[in-house]
Structure 1
Amino acid sequence: MVEKEIITSKDNRRIKDLRKLQTKKYRSRLNRFLIEGEHLVEEAVTHGQMVHTVILLEDYDHSSLDLKNIDLMFVSRDVMKSLSLLETPPGIMAVVTYNAPESTGNRVLLLDYVQDPGNLGTLIRTADAFGFSRVILSPDTVDVFSDKVLRSAQGSTFHIDIEIKEPTLAVGEFKGVVLGTALDNAQPLSDVETSDGPLMLVLGNEGRGISDVVLSKVDTRVKIEMSGQSESLNVGIAGGILMHHFKA
């Protein structure tokens, strides 16, 4: 039996290259990103993502995972800690290239300049829950493959057809009804009829909302009625209410 090789140096060339994936610049350049934790690794493997390498703590028990034909890299605790962005590394990571699953495009979520990673991850996870199988992100939206977004999405990233596109172009190309959230000149959500036909829901930035140029192209402006004293809702919460209302 061949003894497995364990990388113990943080200065190892492969480890240095992997650490580069902690930055958006290198994620974009290499078309690869890091995921952490057994759940995300299992989701990536199960849902047809291109898993290049699984990085394992030297004594990690991975017997419950189907990792055949995948390159395995065993590392020491210090090396794992240098790769992880978590306070307590989970002991398993992977290098992945995103492979978009097929989607009907009947329910589409378009996000215009969403900046908080937690909000984006939550919106992707909620889209997955309510049948919005395609998510389009404006180019200035926070990086969908950053660590915080991936952890917030809890694996739903791999269930959703995610595309980066200029929002005005996405709205113009969409063959269906386009709804955009707004506070002014908007219909209450309860007055907007649901439909089985193609529908795109547009949500905007946490502070400014949807940009004027994008909002001018939607078919209907919609707002969520609130009986309390709050002036607005977090975009993740608002998105959850709206996607549940228009769920596939």
Structure 2
Amino acid sequence: MQEIIRSKDNQKIKTLRKLKQKKFRVKTGQFLIEGQHLIDEALSCHQTIETVIIAENYTGKTTYPSQTITVSDAVMETLSSLETPPGIMAVIQYVPKESKNERVLMLENIQDPGNMGTLIRSAAAFSFDTIYVSENSVDVFSDKVLRSTQGALFHVNVETANLLDMVKSFEGRVYVTALQDATSIDSVKTNEDSVAVVLGNEGSGVSDDLLSFVENRLKIDMAPNIESLNVAIAGSIIMHHFKRE
């Protein structure tokens, strides 16, 4: 029978707990996921699971090809970001999904984890297989974003990048959301092989630096008494418009 780790000061536990901090996730390329659903999604997408952590009273699946450790409920609480831990979590060594870089979403300074998670889910749903995220955006591997994606993160290639460089080097047509000098999305064709969509910060939108390099500006027609849409909703509508048939 496997030994149960009961000390919160166990060296292995202390190392795992560091992954709750962005700087250690960036340094190691690893992050924590919680719950059976996310672990199953990671496995189905051929992600590398380094370690599975199982609470001593967990009654679900406990057999995995990777290393497993068993911890007390008290120790699990120190690792989990949830008020009621699901009883199982795993360490993922992220493997970016192979992509053709033809259907691209570029996200500049998105701050809300829920918005980021929704955009990642919509990208996966509408065949956008590459997502470039600016350095100052919310961390896509944070617990709140990961929960919000519901596993969709494993179906796309996500990279932190200089978006200006990505816009300049992209070989297809690039579209950006804007309020001024913009064309209604309803008048834009949808059968392009290579397309990139640029979305900006919830409050300030796309920066002037990026706007100056993108000729194709889009807007979504709305009722006259509505000023704007949430960025996750707007982005989802635009990606659906450009989805592959």
The aligned residue for residue 194 of structure 2 is 198
The aligned residue for residue 163 of structure 1 is 159
The aligned residue for residue 27 of structure 2 is 29
Residue in structure 2 matching 1:178, options 174, 178, 182:
174
1:104 is displaced (CA, Å) by: 2.2
1:66–1:215 distance in 2 versus 1, CA, 3 Å:
farther
Are 1:78 and 2:74 matched, yes or no? yes
- Report how many residues are paired: 244
**Secondary structure of the structure 1 residue equivalent to 2:19:** helix
**Structure-2 separation of matches of 1:127 and 1:228:** 28
**Structure-2 separation of matches of 1:196 and 1:60:** 49
1:31 is displaced (CA, Å) by: 1.5
Instruction: Output the TM-score relative to the length of structure 2.
Output: 0.97
1:217–1:48 distance in 2 versus 1, CA, 3 Å:
same
Instruction: Output the TM-score relative to the length of structure 1.
Output: 0.95
Consecutive unaligned residues in structure 2, runs of 5 or more:
none
**Secondary structure of the structure 2 residue equivalent to 1:178:** strand
**Structure-1 separation of matches of 2:143 and 2:131:** 18
Paired AA for residue 33 in structure 1: F
**Structure-1 separation of matches of 2:160 and 2:26:** 12
Consecutive unaligned residues in structure 1, runs of 5 or more:
none
1:103–1:81 distance in 2 versus 1, CA, 3 Å:
same
**Structure-2 separation of matches of 1:66 and 1:235:** 40
**Structure-2 separation of matches of 1:76 and 1:229:** 55
What pairs with 1:58-207 in structure 2 (closer than 5 Å)? 58-63=56-61, 67-68=64-65, 70-207=66-203
The aligned residue for residue 47 of structure 1 is 45
1:101 is displaced (CA, Å) by: 1.1
1:66 is displaced (CA, Å) by: 6.0
Same amino acid, percent of matched pairs: 51
1:61 is displaced (CA, Å) by: 3.2
Are 1:210 and 2:206 matched, yes or no? yes
1:228 is displaced (CA, Å) by: 4.9
The aligned residue for residue 240 of structure 1 is 236
The aligned residue for residue 16 of structure 2 is 18
**Structure-2 separation of matches of 1:234 and 1:215:** 19
**Secondary structure of the structure 1 residue equivalent to 2:101:** coil
Aligned CA RMSD, in angstroms, stands at 1.2
